[in-house]
Amino acid sequence: MTLEMIGGFAGGVGLFLLGMNLMTQGLMQAAGSSLRRILAAATASPRRGLASGIGVTALVQSSSAVTVATIGFVNAELMQLSQAIPVIFGSNIGTTMTGWLVATLGFNVKISAFALPMIGIGMALRVMRGKTPVARIGEALAGFGLFFVGVDILKDTFGHLSETVDLSRYAMSGILGVLVYVLVGAVLTTLLQSSSAAMAMTLTAASGGAISLENAAALVIGANVGTTTTAILTVIGASPAAKRLAGAHVLFNVITAGIGLLTLPAMLWSIHWLQQVTGMDRDLSVLLALFHTFFNVMGVLVLWNSIGWMTRLLESRFEVAQDGFSKPKYLDPALTQMPALALTVVGKELAHSARLGRELAVSALNTEFEREPKFVEDVKQVQELLTSVGEYVARVQRGNLQPVAGEALGEALRVLAYQHAQLEQVLDCVPLKAGMELQLGEDLLGEWARCREAVIGLLSAADPTADTFDPEQLHASRKSVQRQFKELKNHLLRAGAAEQVRVRIMVDMLDHVSNLRQLVDQAEKGARALGLLLELVQERVPASLSEEDENPQPDAREAVADT
């Protein structure tokens, strides 16, 4: 093999990997909120899930991308395991479209006649239309063209190789040859992280006479096994539900590969018979595309009635680990390329962190004396969780966002700021020091207890995910609590002036009142901002924020000044 051939091989592989990446990302980002409708259709029934998996994979030309995205949906609790497994089955059938495109267009049509215009038109749309869905479609069109340019280069490379090297000396037949090529296919797909890319290489190699049909079929079986590594890598550190779906993907591909190996001679004989009966093109690339389709359809037919069994088996595995609060529950890196769905999981994660923050605040108010170390550690873990959410939002922001998505991300940052401020107040709100209750007197203690109960009631109502959430009622509750704080403050000042309470105790109590007032302000504003965020990501439709809260950052100073 000459240096020119090596360069052609590397360049061809690089071009169709780049093309597939552009095509996948462009189509997914162009879909935007339409992915929600696809997702809803996929969850309606197993057959719809299968059809959605086939259709989306055929469209984006990447079963790995669809598998990773589906794992992201399950990780974010947007889809149940039993609903996601048919999508994984369908993606294995949908990925066979790559083989047919390469076999029919890549080898029978002059590439430059359609690929180069696609690249030109696609990049023109990408440059002229900015961040619009049309620009994303242009990016996908350019990727489609690059994919076929890469195939064309590989076809020429393998053609020159077969002319200069006697490849028949390296052919391997029998069981050993099949197993070796299965291993090669698995390793190749693992390295490329794309079974479609491995399939395109296999087709071009077979068409160029580099390998036999039997060896190429073994490569295809190996590629199906190798593509599971993408799912396995994706679920490292993910939720148990995501690991279960990755397990389903591995089970399907490994079982299907086993069946394929056992029936390989029969399938190859059937393909040759079908080719003779129908007069189909004898090109090895067409026969191999047909084998790839038969192989995956057979796997779905054999395992279709096992979905229930597979679901029950996997649900008994990967139990939930208790890792504290710092680890995100819903965020998934795979969804950052799909802003519409990324925003949904950001909203769910912020609703989760808000619930943790409210529980910690209530715990603080129900504690009479100094905090235990575990409580402080829990607060710090929730703060770490909020930091992770902020980093995730920053990753989504680096993508190409439409105006609505940009508005939602801005609201997410606003919610983060309020929640961070609320947690700071939770740490500062030590109710009483030991012995302080002996210095206050019965009236002040009773008034202090009523204020704390009012704050706990407000925190319970500050849940924008609840059906009973009412922003106006919450705002009214905040005003009522503020009046109670003002009365307690005046009572403390009068008691201090009359020397009924020592000045040091009075100052400490005023600090407690100030901290609680700031906690109330941040909790109420944070809940209303989170409600607006959930409205923007279509989780629910609460009332919008009032005019007084238009400032995008919480201002703790106003609460201190009011107190």
Supply the pLDDT for residue 527.
92
Amino acid 351 reads A
Query: Dihedral (C-alpha) 313, 318, 322, 327: value to the nearest 10 degrees?
Result: -120
Supply the pLDDT for residue 415.
92
Contact 368, 431 (CB under 8 A): yes
State the Cα angle at 268 between 262 and 272, rounded to 5°.
Answer: 160
Is the pLDDT at 552 greater than 50, yes or no? no
Shortest CA distance to 205 belongs to which of 226, 191, 222, 220? 220
Instruction: Compute the distance between CA of residue 315 and CA of residue 84 in angstroms, rounded to an integer.
Output: 13
Instruction: Compute the distance between CA of residue 463 and CA of residue 444 in angstroms, rounded to an integer.
Output: 30
Helix (H) or strand (E) holding 264: helix 264-278
Instruction: Compute the distance between CA of residue 284 and CA of residue 286 in angstroms, rounded to an integer.
Output: 5
Per-residue pLDDT of 345-398, as tens digits, reads 888 899 999 999 998 888 888 765 556 777 888 888 999 999 999 999 888 877
Is the pLDDT at 554 greater than 50, yes or no? no
Instruction: Compute the distance between CA of residue 537 and CA of residue 279 in angstroms, rounded to an integer.
Output: 54
Instruction: Compute the distance between CA of residue 67 and CA of residue 73 in angstroms, rounded to an integer.
Output: 10
Is the pLDDT at 547 greater than 60, yes or no? no
Name the least confident of 17-26, 139-148, 254-263, 507-516: 17-26
Supply the pLDDT for residue 282.
62
Within a 10 A sphere around the Cβ of 38, how many other Cβ atoms? Answer: 15
Supply the pLDDT for residue 544.
33
What average pLDDT is seen over the chain?
Answer: 77
Phi, psi of 330 (to 5 degrees): -120, -25
H helices, E strands: number in the chain? 24, 0
Residue corresponding to tokens 């989504």: 396
Is the pLDDT at 416 greater than 90, yes or no? yes
Name the least confident of 10-19, 71-80, 146-155, 536-545: 536-545
Supply the pLDDT for residue 446.
83
Query: Dihedral (C-alpha) 181, 182, 184, 190: value to the nearest 10 degrees?
Result: 160
Is the pLDDT at 48 greater than 70, yes or no? yes
Mean pLDDT, residues 315-341 taken together: 72
Residue corresponding to tokens 């004989």: 269
| 181 three-class SS | helix
Q: CA 258 from chain center: how many Å?
A: 31
Of residues 173 and 459, more confidently modeled: 459
Long-range contacts of 344-347 (CB under 8 A, 24+ apart): 344/76, 344/78, 344/537, 344/538, 344/539, 345/72, 345/76, 345/78, 346/389, 346/392, 346/393, 346/396, 346/408, 346/409, 346/412, 346/533, 346/537, 347/412, 347/530, 347/533, 347/534, 347/537, 347/539
Residues whose CB is less than 8 angstroms from the CB of residue 62 and which lie 6 or more positions away in sequence, other chains included: 20, 23, 24, 95, 194, 196
Per-residue pLDDT of 424-453, as tens digits, reads 888 776 555 545 555 667 788 788 788 888
User: By percentage, how much of the chain surpasses pLDDT 70?
Assistant: 74
Within a 10 A sphere around the Cβ of 375, how many other Cβ atoms? Answer: 16
Q: Place 27 in a pLDDT band, splitting at 50, 70 and 90.
A: low
| 236 three-class SS | coil
Q: What is the CA radius of gyration of the chain?
A: 31
Instruction: Compute the distance between CA of residue 257 and CA of residue 238 in angstroms, rounded to an integer.
Output: 26
Shortest CA distance to 421 belongs to which of 475, 379, 370, 473? 379
Per-residue pLDDT of 252-300, as tens digits, reads 999 999 988 888 888 888 887 877 777 665 667 788 888 888 888 998 9
What is the value of pTM for the model shown?
Answer: 0.69
Instruction: Compute the distance between CA of residue 294 and CA of residue 298 in angstroms, rounded to an integer.
Output: 6
Shortest CA distance to 536 belongs to which of 386, 406, 395? 406
Supply the pLDDT for residue 100.
82
Within a 10 A sphere around the Cβ of 280, how many other Cβ atoms? Answer: 14
Residues whose CB is less than 8 angstroms from the CB of residue 124 and which lie 6 or more positions away in sequence, other chains included: 138
Name the least confident of 26-30, 200-204, 389-393: 26-30
DSSP class of residue 130 equals T
Is the pLDDT at 16 greater than 50, yes or no? yes
